[in-house]
Amino acid sequence: MTKYPPINYSDYLQLDKVLNAQDLRSEEYNKKAHDEHLFIIIHQTYELWFKQILFEVDSVLELFGHDHFDESHMGIVISRLNRIIEIERVLVDQINILETMTPLDFLDFRDFLVPASGFQSLQFRLLENKLGLIPEKRLTYTESYYSEALREDEKKHVHEAEKAPSLFERVEAWLARTPFLKSPDFDFWGVYKDAVIKMFQDEEELIRNNSSLTEKDIENNIEQLAKSREIFDGLLDKDKYQELQDKGQFRLSYDALHGALFILLYRDEPALQQAFSFITCLQNIDELLTQWRYRHSLMALRMLGSKVGTGGSSGHKYLRAATEKHKVFHDFFNLTTYLLPRSALPQLPENFKRELNFAFTHKK
């Protein structure tokens, strides 16, 4: 057994660097503000967590970085995405600690920070790009492209990340290769369309035969049903789907969307449970980032009111707008519109179902 030389706890963690990296600007100008220390610690901690998230995202991108994804790695991918999710929960909770600082406490040192801003976080911009935020969809920052807020040596990194395949693109390609969608015994898109048509026919029949409804009620219900049909038509017709894509309602390719919907509808089948867990992880990551942005925007409002941010942005207004604008995996949330109740799901052929159930024969 190899014997390694001993190492001290402080040396291993390089605590001399970490614990001596809190230089108060207010103290430098002989106007020491007590809460600036907390402010620095919180944001340094954020950056450490961003580094860990990037480490996990890069590992997932590497596993997906081939034409054929080895499905045996899906357990590893889900585990690492779940780690990101737990870190994001900590990011949200850290705001509670920061909010122990009052607006007056913040004003004691705010002027010393200008023009420093969280918007200048290279790691967070890299994270957004690696997840798959489209550069053209970004909100402008003080009417400039987002990378203009970064140092010259940092701009190169975010532009490289923009051009590299993102997690969204890797997932889209993986979904487009979903097996089981069409075989001699089963055509998912065909049976799904038939099930949707039957669902609406049954609903219309129920409305028209409901003796407790007035003619006006029936007319209103049929009108609402027609609107629901239009929503489904946008999914079922490829040309109409393209129109929705052009309007920004969907981003996934038509083939990838088929794969995602199949997984969501037949999630109970053993062969699809990991794929469903994977999609759920992506939704959770997006949702928690949205929560973090929202909490951040509320904190900015609480601390600054309608003042501009230290970096010159519109503060709360900008952060609140980014909450909705900067989502990546919103397609998976939109797809729930097109789910069918289990009772309306087309039955899978028995031989096909056996493939999804990992059928084994034990011989004595």
Question: Ramachandran region of residue 2, left (φ > 0), alpha (ψ -120 to 50) or beta?
Answer: beta
| Spatial CB neighbours of 142, under 8 Å, sequence gap ≥ 6 | 149, 311, 312, 313
**Spatial distance between the Cα atoms of 85 and 96, rounded to a whole number of angstroms:** 18
Please compute the mean of the pLDDT values over residues 280-301 and round it to a whole number.
94
What is the percent of the chain where pLDDT is above 70? Answer: 95
State mean pLDDT over 172-197.
90
Q: Which of the pair, 283 or 178, is modelled with greater confidence?
A: 283
Coil, helix or strand at residue 141: strand
Mean pLDDT, range 147-156, rounded to an integer: 91
pLDDT at 32: 96
Residue 362: predicted pLDDT: 46
Which CATH architecture does the domain made up of 11-356 adopt? Up-down Bundle (1.20)
**pLDDT of 141 higher than 70:** no
For range 320-326, the mean pLDDT: 83
Q: What share of the chain has pLDDT > 90, as a percent?
A: 65
In whole numbers, what is the pLDDT of the chain averaged over residues? 90
Whole-prediction pTM: 0.90
Residue 351 tokens, joined = 């031989």
Top-confidence residue, 138 or 329: 329
Helix, strand, coil distribution of the chain in percent, nearest 5: 70, 0, 30
Cis-peptide, bond into residue 346, ω within 30° of zero: no
| Residue ranges covered by each domain of the chain | 11-356
